[in-house]
Chains A and B, each alone.
Chain A
Amino acid sequence: MNDLKFAFRQLVKNPGFTAVAVLTLGLGIGANTALFSLINAMLMRPLPGVVEPEGLVRLTHGSFSYAKFEALKAQQVFAQTVAFDLDRLPAEVNGALQSSRVMLVSGDYFHALGVNARLGRTITPQDDQAQALVAVLSHSFWTHAFAADPGVIGRSFRVSGLAVTTQRSAHWLQLMGRLAPGQTLEQANARLQVVWPQVLAAAAPPDTPAASDFFRQTTDLQPAGNGFSNLRGEFASPLFVLMCLVGLVLLVACANVANLLLARGAARQREFAVRLASGASRRRLMRQLLTESVLLSVIAAFAGVLFSAWSTRVLVGFISSETGPVVLDLRPDWRVLVFSIGVIFITALMFGLAPALRATRIDLASSLKERSRTFGGREGRLRKALLVSQVAMAMVLAVGAGLFMNSFRHLLQVNTGFDSTNVLLVRADAISAGHRGPRAAQFFTELLDRVNSLPGVQSAAMSWAPPVSRGFGNNGNISVEGHSPAPGEDRIVWSNFVSPGYFGTIGQTLLAGRDFTTGDRQGAPGVAIINQSMARYFFGDESPVGRKFDPGGGNNYQCEIIGVVRDATHFSLKESPQRVFYLPYAQGADFFQGENMILVLRSAATTSSTVKQVREVVAQIDRDVLVETETLKAHVDGSLAREHLLAMLSGFLGMLSLLLVAIGLYGVMAYSVTRRTGEIGLRMALGAQPVTVLAMVLREGFMLVVTGTVIGAVAACAFSHVISTLLFGITARDSVSFGGAVVALTLAAVIATILPARRAAKVEPMEALRYE
């Protein structure tokens, strides 16, 4: 307790030191906790409310049909096999329809999770057979939509589009299992692989040829105890990379504080000597100093918590823009607590131990004497070693920042093949509102007509998949008349349905032939527009216009190519050019049993009033249709959330580390100049020119930075190799990033060294006599 009181007094006594140390460490600790909380919430936290979550496993490789689910269930690989599908549907909230999360689950679902109803009952396998539709409400929906009314049991409420969803979901299910007691994931997986062919055989549609792709489908098991969202795949590796970078920043911060402590230890040398001389043991003194370090670390952690809370929210904001609102349970749990306490103590040890060891290793005889007879000595070496390692770590951070920022810059410069300025995407969910088949077509045609006549709208059109579809889309093998494919040849082509004027609206150039017209309707000859990549692949230098193909891959060549458009980014900015053909929306009516179209409209400026007008138009046609709007630019940028996150955060961390290094270098050099005032005075007395002394100090600073930079560059090479899969448009040895990092570090070094160097150049030769 005495130690603690004294430690506290020491910190209060040196407010400047304390402030710099707390700020430095606070940023480091806070950033670490923030990132860890996020990783914890996203990847490590077991599902809340689930009994023995570690017993849950999921089948990977895409979605499964209901037939597969039943076939798998019959094989009894798991204690329980469940299927579910997550969707957004308009559901009744306080009388009005509101887009809500709806989950379709198989009867075993709640049983497998071990979740019981708080009110009423959960869904059971009997409900699978029953005719009546039943629903279980989540607590938050119950509170939100029914004001937590206990009388809700037995009541009915409206959910639009359920029938449609059920139909579609029959092919797009997620499968999950609960392991039998004592069964391991490996055992279950081995068993799964054995029965899988039987599952496929049982689930195959009646006339599937034996050689079909259907029987080549594979699957695998993964733990599902932490839940499974696509956030994991998307953000796991960037978050781990960031965690490493943030850890490095904390190390840099520790080195800084260690350096400050070393300087302070040197200044407190006499205090320690007196304590030792009056009988304190070295161990006792160490304890005192480490108490000071831990206290400092704890105070910094409190400052860090604020920073952490704020930055976690910023991070979640980033991730949300990618996938719609993200619900992550960010409340600190024991893992975060253990992590934070661990970080506090490790940090305290890292910055406190070396200075404490150094400070208590005192030659009593000489330090109680007034003066030493020589200048210099080798005390600065530890400080310099710390600084070199700091520079090396900052180099890694700066290179990382450079690589991610440069990748991002390349992505922003990708030629998308369309012009996203002033284009608005409108998603009207007509299907869920009950418009199907011809009625859906009618709804969208009417919507398009009305929007087209809105003032300020230059052109409007529709498309099934948006540009940069992020995985949404349809592809398959096609066959082209006159093109005899080699065995096993890749004839996969993506397809999309668009309305006349679509290409003009988004600014995708028509290179040959004509656009669709209203004449290209049901009953008229089948037509298609293909993109450059498809044209080049199938037709080389010949003109594809007038040629015919079968979109189904058979030999019914009834689709005539009427135009060629420039390649446009199809599903991601990172893709290599994809082969795509476009069919007129009006000829795809069969296809649109359960599909919504996306409205694209170009206006003079996409303003909130445009959005409002569009919403009004939709409401005029059908009040129950929910509308979401987004600018095409936001849509494209949103697809880069991961890269943006990496670029921004690594950039921030890089800057932070440069700042810390500059502070560290300044501290080391300023301290060194102060400590060596006598020596510098002597050099002056011996005839050194001021500029010579200036150069000497600059050179010393530079040697440290150069050494650190070289070591850091080697480490950065290894680092950049590891992250190379996250890069785009540059290699892991990107010279711009490495060169930029060197320039940034040099600049930081100049700024940090020039002041101490100038002070050194102003030392009077009389200083040589100061202690005479």
Chain B
Amino acid sequence: MTKDNSLIKLESIKKVFYTDEVETHALSGIHLDIRKGEYVSIAGPSGCGKSTLLSILGLLDSPTEGSYTLNGQPVANLDHSQRARIRNREVGFIFQSFNLIGDLTVFENVELPLTYRGMNSADRKQRVTEALERVGMAHRMKHYPSQLSGGQQQRVAVARALGGKPAILLADEPTGNLDSKNGEAVMELLRELHREGATICMVTHDPRFARHAERNVHLFDGRIVEESVEGDER
């Protein structure tokens, strides 16, 4: 039963960066399973490898060693185009600095991943509207990112991640560039999405937000040093 539910399986993942003859071991032997519908938070000091782990999960980067199985399929031998396809369909990214495109409207930003999927425009319109309504930004569809507050921009970014109905949402310190009130609101949004069934993996070093997750993974120096499940703690 548990086995069938597995979405992500990382085994002995290592990531080494080579820069100017210096080897940086960003990840050294990560084992991690994420089941469908789970809400996992990743915490740890700066430079411990959190973003690196997330980018490997999101197929932005490849591990130096180890195996990664997504939805039962090993991803090691996929080519550029197949990886792009998986990023497009299975993964929804939420970035710390929102990463909206300034030349595109809110609507167009959310629509972008669907365009890359080759979806027809009527379906796209429906999906985008749904996603923007879900994050409460439907009334700002025609605005440009620069006309929105940080909190609103991050909501749009969440809508962009949701629009493609991905298997997993990956969020890298989604509240890092927000004040606490806006940060709170975005976290609340993620929690609601999880309740509605979304699988989420989120990097944060704010313990308050880590508590929103069902499971906390602690990284230190490229290794998982502690895993705790909300509820059995304290």
Contacts and interface: CB of A to CB of B under 8 A. Distances in A.
A377 B146 contact: yes
Interface in A678-733: 678-679, 682-690, 692
B84 A687 contact: yes
Contacts of A772: 51, 95-97, 172-173
B183 interface: no
A771 interface: yes
B193 interface: no
Interface in A652-692: 678-679, 682-690, 692
Interface in B145-177: 145-146, 150, 153, 160, 164, 172-173, 177
Contacts, number: 96
A378 to B, nearest CB: 7
Nearest to B90: A687
B100 to A, nearest CB: 5
A373 interface: yes
B102 A376 contact: yes
Contact of B58 (A376, A377, A685, A688): A685
Interface of B: 51, 55, 58-61, 80-81, 84-89, 93, 95-104, 112-113, 116-117, 145-146, 150, 153, 160, 164, 172-173, 177
Most buried by B among A682, A688, A764, A765: A765
A766 interface: yes
Contacts of A371: 97
Contacts of A690: 80-81, 84
A692 B118 CA distance: 11
Interface of A: 371, 373-378, 678-679, 682-690, 692, 764-766, 768-769, 771-772
A687 B84 CA distance: 4
A688 B116 contact: yes
Nearest to A771: B97
B149 to A, nearest CB: 11
Contacts of A688: 84, 88, 116
B89 to A, nearest CB: 7
Nearest to B164: A687
Given A373-B150, A685-B60, A688-B84, A679 B95 contact: no
A377 B102 contact: yes
Contacts of A374: 98-102, 145-146, 153
Given A373-B177, A375-B100, A685-B60, A766 B55 contact: yes
Contacts of A373: 97-98, 100, 145, 150, 153, 177
A686 B88 contact: yes
A689 B79 CA distance: 11
Contacts of B98: 373-374
B93 A686 contact: yes
A377 B103 contact: yes
A768 B95 contact: yes
A608 to B, nearest CB: 68
B89 A687 contact: yes
A378 B96 CA distance: 23
29 contacts: A373-B98, A373-B150, A374-B99, A374-B100, A374-B102, A375-B102, A376-B101, A376-B104, A377-B146, A378-B102, A685-B87, A685-B93, A686-B113, A686-B160, A687-B85, A687-B87, A687-B88, A687-B164, A689-B81, A689-B84, A689-B85, A764-B60, A765-B61, A765-B84, A765-B87, A768-B60, A768-B99, A769-B95, A769-B172
B174 to A, nearest CB: 11
